[in-house]
Structure formats: structure tokens, C-alpha cells
Amino acid sequence: MDKNDLRNKLISIATRLFAERGLNGVSIRELSNAAGVSISMISYHFGGKEGLYSSVLQEQFSSFEHIEEINNADAEALTKIEAYIRWIIVRHRNNPYLLRFYTSELTNPTQFFSLIVQPAIEKVIQILVRIIEEGISKNKFRKDLNPVDTVLAIAGMVNYYFLSTLATQELISHSPERDEVLIRHYMDIFTKGILS
């Protein structure tokens, strides 16, 4: 197995184990046994368990870079908000462990929170706040909106859909075939509210 294949295998196995049990819940011996390599290989490629965890977080949160494409699109603020909602759904579908790292680092941060997780989240929030402010300045959104509260409400609404999957599976289908309906529903709630 060449270096890149071994490195990718270690990241793949570590992603699953760290997502299930966190940084402190997995030993370096467990990681090496699961990957079928010696502990020295983890040290060689990543400098140890913490380095491997850092690489896993970097890979998981690299998906947040897509927010730049949404921000740079030549589109109205509302279209960018829809693109953001669509992106969150695709991000969760393509990165099934991301939400575990996200919530774990937010509720029980490791030393990597301020280096990897917080900058990724802050970047998304700051860009979305600018999008909301743009919509307000162009009279597309209400003047009395608090941009940060608005962004957190949108992000919370969509992320919680995926966070609550296990608890709500008897109430609603979380199938990817329903994603377009979900996007339309969230956009309707965002633009019209819930009052008749």
C-alpha cells in the first residue's frame, strides 16, 4: 500500500471511530488495530493520535469552503439563502459523520476547536450575515431583522433536521428523495413565516 492509500485508510477508519467516541474515547492502539498498521505508522503520517484527529477534522470541515462559491455567486440574497440551505443538505448527505464532529466540538471542544472548527463556522456565519444585510439594504428583507439571529435560525432549522433523524424517524421521512420538498418548505417558512 502506498503512502497516500495508507494515509487515506487511516483517516477513513479514524473518522468513524472518532465520530463514534470522540478524541479521548479512542486509543492509538485501537486505531492501529482497526487499520491493520503499527502505531509507528500513525506517528509517521500524523505525529500521533492528536495529529490524526486534526487531519480528520480538517477533512470534515473542508466542506465548509463551499460557502465562498455561494457568496461569490452573481445572485440575489434570497437565491443565495436557498443555495445555502441546499448546500447544508448536500453536505450532511455526503458527510454522514460531520454532524457528530460538529456537535461534539461545540459541546465538548478539544484543542482543535479554535484552530479548525470555530474558524470554519465563523466564516459561514459572517458570509451569511453579509448576505442577509445585503437583502435588507436592497429592501428584499425586513429592515427590523437581526442578521445574526436570522442566520442562526436558518442554520439551526436545517442542521437540526439531520441532528434529530434518529428521534424523528417515526414522524417524517428523512429520505434524500424528500430533499427538494424540504428545501421548498424551509424557503417558504423563511420567506413567509408560519402565520396565515
Query: Do 160 and 145 have their domain in common?
Result: yes
Residue 46 sits in a domain whose CATH number is: 1.10.10.60
What's the angle, vertex CA 92, arms to CA 88 and CA 96, rounded to 5?
165
**Which tens digits make up the pLDDT trace of 55-64?**
999 999 999 9
**The pTM of the whole model exceeds 0.95:** no
For the chain, the domain total comes to 2
**Which tens digits make up the pLDDT trace of 63-83?**
999 999 999 999 999 999 999
Query: Do 150 and 107 have their domain in common?
Result: yes
Q: Rounded CA gap, 148 and 155, in Å?
A: 11
Domain span at residue 54?
Answer: 3-59
